[in-house]
Every structure is written in structure tokens, then in C-alpha cells.
Amino acid sequence: MSQLSKQDMSIATFRVVYDGPALAEHTMDVRDLSPALLAIAEALEEANRVLNGDRAQVRVQVHGSFKTGSFGIDLDVTQAFVAQALDFLANDRRVLGSLNLLALLGFVGATSTFTYKGVLSLLKWLRGRTVRKVEIDDERGVAKVITDEDAMEVEVATIELFRSYRIRESIERAIKVPLEREGVETVAFVHEEHVVEVVEKYERHAFTPPPDQKTQINEMEFTAPLQLVSVPLRDGYKWRVDDGNGPFTATVLDERFVQRIQKSEVAFSAGDILFARLRRRQFLDGAELRNENEIVEVLKHESAYKQIPLPIIRQDT
């Protein structure tokens, strides 16, 4: 991005402020601050990916500012555009600039393009309630979010961000997790010295994302050598094994082999090799690809105990 001209970039600045008795001396544990700032950056990067694809890149940098009685951080959002996507200021909805991304997330207020409140306001309004229906008005670019009790209108683009597991998990780490700490009472977002949104400690549970929904996308069964990393004889025979690409957990389903273990007919140690028939299921768990592994049948077991061969000759006595 350093080689780009200002015409190739969209730049916006906002401030996040963590406040409460624990922060009166302008200090905040780096173990709390670093994950929170990373989460804000990840939310912006994912919002850019969802709405702009590969036509723009976002980078978030700490600008540095400390306000009396709280811990405030100014953040610069620099967004680089490819050459054919520079007309973001002329109501070009194909590529959204950094200020509009911040507005849709709710980190800054309304812009000339987006006048409705963003994801943060929607989450505060929902308070964990179930969304019963979303009515889309494409002509107006507005979505009506309906619960059992009432409704709220937001931008259609806000709904796209609201539906992203990655964004919801990032917002949780940026807001809810710090508010779980004793002495942290509020998280506020400020733009041009105007407080845009304040989240109180009692509101933190509104920022808990829904449980991930696993969708199976693949299943395969194959024979492979597996090296035993650990063999805890509990938890339904869930073993840590390594196939040469790194350790993973596999559930042993081979009942005949399990019975031999229970009868002490088989002894194990770390490093032993199993030749096994492995079943691997792949799931899209929220936004992450995850594997679940099962050892269907153990075909062969080789001990890791090896001796160095030597030309030993035994003398007759």
C-alpha cells in the first residue's frame, strides 16, 4: 500500500474507548487490549471482503491517543483500491470506502451513502432476541429486521455483515470479552469527537454470536499409518495421532481392538505406529473448515521400541 497515491486510497479514523475503574490510571492489560484491537481489525477486514471482494484491501493501524479517565485508542483505517475501482466517492455501490465500512459496522455514524445504523446498533436493539423475519426492499436498499415484538430498519449491506460468523465473533472479542473483565464498565466508539455508540457492561451478552452451525461438505475413508501422540484410556477412546502432517484427535471405533485393550492384550506407548482405516468428515463450522476423524479399524500395530542392531556373538559356556 505504501506505493499507492492518495487517489488510490480511502482513509478514515475512529476511536475506541474502554472505560471503568480499572482504567482510571490509563492502563490496560496488554493481554486484554491486543486481542480486542486484533478483533476490530479482523471485523473490518472481513467486512471489506464481504462487500468489496478482492477489489480493495484494508489495513488498520493504531494512531495513538489516551483520554482522561479511560483508555482510548485512535485507529486509522487505510483502504487500497485497484485501478478500475476508484470511484467509491461517487455513490459507486460496487466498492465501498473505509468510512462506509465503518458506518455499516456501527463504529462511526451515518454517511452520505448510508443513513441507517450499523451492526452494533442492531445487536444492541436485538438484545439476543431471535430474528423471525427479514424483509428486503431492494429499491430502497433497506432491510426490515422483525422480532416477535417489534422491527428495525437497517441497510441491506448491514444484514450481510450481521450474518457473517467471522464478524460476529470479532465483535464479541472486541466488546463482550473486555466487558467481562472486572473494572471495565463501557466500550465506546467515537468519530470526529462525537460518541457514536456506547456499550454498557450489562449489555455485553447482546454481542454473543449464535452457535456455529456445522455443515458437512465431504467424507472420505482411507488407510494410513498413524503415530500415537497420546493414548488416554477415557473420553470414549479419543486418541491424539499424527499422520505426518501434524497431530489431530481421532475416535477409535474398532470394538474388537478396544476389547483387546481392555483385556490388556495390547500395550501402547507414545510413538507407536498404527496402520489403520481412517474415516474423515469435513465440516464448515461457522466460517471455519474443520475435520472429524474416526479410526474405523486397526489393521496393524508396531511398537516404537527399537533396538540398534549389533553383531552380537554369544560364547558357549
Q: Express each pLDDT in 9-26 by its tens digit.
A: 678 888 888 888 877 666
Helix axes 30-52, 98-105, angle to 10 degrees: 110
Q: What is the dihedral of CA 214, 145, 159, 153, to 10 degrees?
A: -170
pLDDT of the residue at 6: 47
Using alpha carbons, select from 54, 141, 146, 155 the residue that is nearest to residue 102. Answer: 155
pLDDT of the residue at 91: 44
pLDDT of the residue at 29: 67
Distance CA 72, CA 94 (A): 33
pLDDT of the residue at 57: 82
Using alpha carbons, select from 20, 65, 103 the residue that is nearest to residue 193. Answer: 65
pLDDT of the residue at 261: 79
Q: Where is 261: in which H helix or E strand?
A: helix 255-262
Question: 123 in helix, strand or coil?
Answer: helix
Contact 165, 139 (CB under 8 A): no
In the chain, which stretches have pLDDT less than 70?
Answer: 1-9, 24-31, 63-71, 81-94, 212-213, 232-236, 285-287, 305-310, 317
Distance CA 239, CA 233 (A): 8
The pTM is what?
0.65
Distance CA 59, CA 127 (A): 31
pLDDT of the residue at 212: 67
Q: Is 38 exposed, middle or buried (0-12, 13-18, 19+ CB in 10 A)?
A: middle
pLDDT of the residue at 90: 42
